[in-house]
Amino acid sequence: MKKPALLVALSALLTLSGCSREFVESMYDVDYTTTNRFANNLAPQPGQLTKDSAALDQLMNSFSGQVERYWGENDALVASKRQYVKYTDGYQSRAHVDFERGVVIVETVAKTDPTQHLKSAITTTLLTPENPAGVDLYSDSAIELGDKPFLYGQILDNEKQPIEWSWRANRFADHLIATQLKKRAERFHQVYYVEIPMVADHADKRGYKYAHIVRDASRRYGISEDLIYAIIKTESSFNPYAVSHANAYGLMQVVPATAGADVFKLVKKRSGEPSPMYLFDPANNIDTGTAYFYLLRHRYLKAVKDPLSLHYSMISAYNGGTGGVLKTFHHDRNQAMTNLNRLQPNQVYWALTHKHPKAEARRYLQKVTNYQKAFNQGKL
């Protein structure tokens, strides 16, 4: 299979920029919501990799320029951790899956026969496969259909049936256009679109797909299943297509140059770092993310004495780094560990959720522990 342009481009950017989540977040309080700025960090054209900064800037701006050409600056969207966005049809149509709101929006700005363009976009969206390797999110390239649809069971048609085959997808598309077609006027164009609600337990249905992978990783590394599920829910809402402008990929949002490289070197005993294509595979991603928790427990934070304090520290470190955890307690690493071990677990939790140097990391620990509780109560 030919490598998607996204994966080739991102690999180059990782090499050339040396950028990591820890570096970005040490400079900024990162907001991972959808942003046009993310598109400026991607180079969608394969075979054009160069260290010439001007050429690289041109490549990185190519995708966002194409999007804005058809949709305008104010209506441009790109994929993020919890937002799947894919352009097709020469950038005239797009699918937008909002995992937080539980809605799929399919739109077109085609000026000629827009309903036919919209129908094609709807059927393609409904049949988009589970495997992210066949989908280039940062071009208008066609999607390779054939595998079981990613949204299977997360959307039901007008007969309350899941959609797996083209005949049902086409029939549902006709129904949506006949009964749910909407229009809105943007500055330079008319948008035709439909909104498709996802089932109430869509996150659970995505999560069930990975149950055997999570179970295997839990046993392999001695990390609890509820923690793995809570991390995936927090990081990507079980979106295997998840990407961030901090160079993190997949379900557990693994950064290749940091956590990924550590796992390769210290756990897998292999050189280099995982590629984006490697991390877009759910099994590889969950294995790598869980292996990194193993390193946090047995290497980077092994001096934390209380098991619950260690648990909180591991979660915080997964997001903000081990250094961020220690800086919460003192600027000197040895003194920080001494101070941490003097505290009760509830005090460690309070410190990490109130005094951690990064606001995003403070919120992160709260989210993960809440999701763990929900999982153990059967509500995740």
Q: Out of 133-142, 266-275, 363-372, which region has the weakest mean confidence (pLDDT)?
A: 133-142
CA distance 189 to 110: 9
Paired tokens of 219: 């046993």
How far apart (Å, rounded) are the C-alpha atoms in residues 120 and 307?
53
Question: Residue 33 above 70 pLDDT?
Answer: no
pLDDT at 183 over 60: yes
Give the model confidence (pLDDT) of 249-267 as tens digits.
Answer: 999 999 999 999 999 999 9
The whole-model pTM stands at: 0.77
Task: Tell me what pLDDT residue 327 has.
Answer: 97
Rounded to whole angstroms, what are the CA distances from 157 to 83, 100, 230, 349?
Answer: 22, 21, 30, 45
Tell me, yes or no, whether 122 lies in a domain: no
180: in domain: no
228 closest CA partner among 245, 241, 212 = 212
In a domain, 265, yes or no: yes
Evaluate whether 85 touches 78 at the Cβ level (below 8 Å): yes
235 is catalytic: yes
- The share of the chain scoring above pLDDT 70, in percent, equals 83
Running DSSP on this structure, what letter comes out for residue 355? T
Domain count, the chain: 1
Per-residue confidence band for 53, with pLDDT thresholds at 50, 70 and 90: very low
The string of pLDDT tens digits covering residues 143-154 is 988 889 999 999
Pairwise pLDDT comparison (345 vs 35), residue with the higher score: 345
Residue 239, in any domain of the structure: yes
pLDDT beyond 50 at 300: yes
Contact 215, 222 (CB under 8 A): no
Q: Would 38 be classed as within a structural domain?
A: no
What is the band of 196 on the pLDDT scale with cuts at 50, 70, 90? Answer: very high
Active-site option among 22, 107, 235, 273? 235
Residue 247 sits in which domain range? 204-376
Strand ranges for 120-245 from DSSP E: 182-185, 190-197, 243-244
Separation CA 118–CA 92 (nearest Å): 9
Question: What's the chain's average pLDDT?
Answer: 85
Mean pLDDT of 300-327: 97
Question: Which CATH number characterizes residue 357's domain?
Answer: 1.10.530.10
